[in-house]
Amino acid sequence: MDLRRIGAVLAAVAVLLGLLPASSATAVTSVGRPFADAGSWVSIFSGDAVWDHPREHVARMHGAGVHTLFLQTASSTSPVGSQVYRPTQVARFLHAAHARGMRVVAWYLPPLRDVGREYRRAMSAVDFRTPGGQRFDAFALDIEPSGTTPSGALRNDNLRRLSNRLRTAVGPTYKLGAIIPSPIGLSLSPKFWPDFPYATLGRFYDVVLPMSYSTYRVKGATATYDYTMGNIAFLRSVLGPTVSLHVIGGNAGASGRLETRAFVQACNNARVTGASMWHYTAYGDEDWQEMAALGL
């Protein structure tokens, strides 16, 4: 890790912090309520201990103040014939969360190489219904390259085509989220995704969810706060000051109490739409306690 380079980037984004007005609490509305307030993430790799007991874990999340459950429905490595991971358990998660007044957002990581197949898999989540007729409250596309993702203009074009097809299918009022890499992280690793297509986000998505994983880049409360605020400031500078943001903090298992507290303080001060740490099974008691201070 090049700490001098990280410091230079944080100094640069500090200039952008001027784009976070004192009145931002009134500038950013609650657009996209499925993405609002405290969130928690369950992936298809969270294990049977979680997937076999949806009601128990939803109750735990709800007791900790979670408003939105982000539930993964497929991945780039899912078998071809599997459109939705463990559909019976997905239905149980939906019923348990909705019974407690929580929102559930489906999310999927496409490899961005077969737009038709990836569109069908995404729409399988959007169109999913439980036997009781319940559905996901929104859908989020995990926009990050996998080992087989094409590079260059083809990758950006495939993302634009997939995003366009999704928006056309769901209509203008259905809430779509875009899970994206950390903007600061992209600046530190320019070969990871050159010319990231921020314009596509602004055109097709209602909510942007930056993976502001400070634990991968910095240590300490002050650096965590600055890293989080830097990512928020950058996105507001390129997507507009009222863009709806749900900020995903670092790996909860690698974040100390003071670092998690700093992340929460940054999200509160910036008045974002929602916030969460990655991921549910990595939370410690101190993470739940600090995340309870979210006041969005």
Question: What domains are there in the chain, each with its CATH number?
Answer: 3-14+33-291 (3.20.20.80)
Confidence (pLDDT) at 53: 98
Angle 232-236-239 from CA coordinates, rounded to 5°: 130
Res 75: pLDDT: 78
Per-residue pLDDT of the chain (296 residues; tens, 9 = 90+): 444 445 545 544 554 445 444 333 333 333 348 999 999 999 999 999 999 999 999 999 999 999 999 999 987 665 555 689 999 999 999 999 999 999 999 999 999 999 999 999 999 999 999 999 999 999 999 999 888 899 889 999 999 999 999 999 999 999 999 999 999 999 999 999 999 999 999 999 999 999 999 999 999 999 999 999 999 999 999 999 999 999 999 999 999 999 999 999 999 999 999 999 999 999 999 999 999 999 98
* Full DSSP string of 44-98: TTS-HHHHT-HHHHHHHHHHTT--EEEEEEE-TTS-TT-SSSSHHHHHHHHHHHH
Q: Do 169 and 132 meet the contact criterion of CB atoms below 8 Å apart?
A: no
**E-strand stretches of the chain:** 37-42, 68-74, 103-108, 138-142, 176-181, 207-211, 244-251, 274-278
pTM above 0.85, yes or no: yes
Would you report the helix, strand and coil content of the chain in percent, each value rounded to 5?
Answer: 50, 15, 35
**Whole-number pLDDT of residue 37:** 96
Q: How far, in Å, CA of 85 to CA of 109, rounded?
A: 13
Tokens of 148: 């087989």
Return the structure tokens found at 87: 């559909």
> Which pLDDT value is given to residue 60?
97
Q: Are 235 and 243 in contact (CB under 8 A)?
A: yes
Report pLDDT for 222.
Answer: 97
Q: Which tens digit of pLDDT belongs to each residue from 59-82?
A: 999 999 999 999 999 876 655 556
Using the structure block, give the residue that is written with the tokens 């509160």. 268
CB within 8 A of 31, min separation 6: which ones? 206, 207, 244, 273
Joined together, the tokens standing for residue 129 give 């219904």
pLDDT at position 25? 33
Q: What is the DSSP letter of 267?
A: H
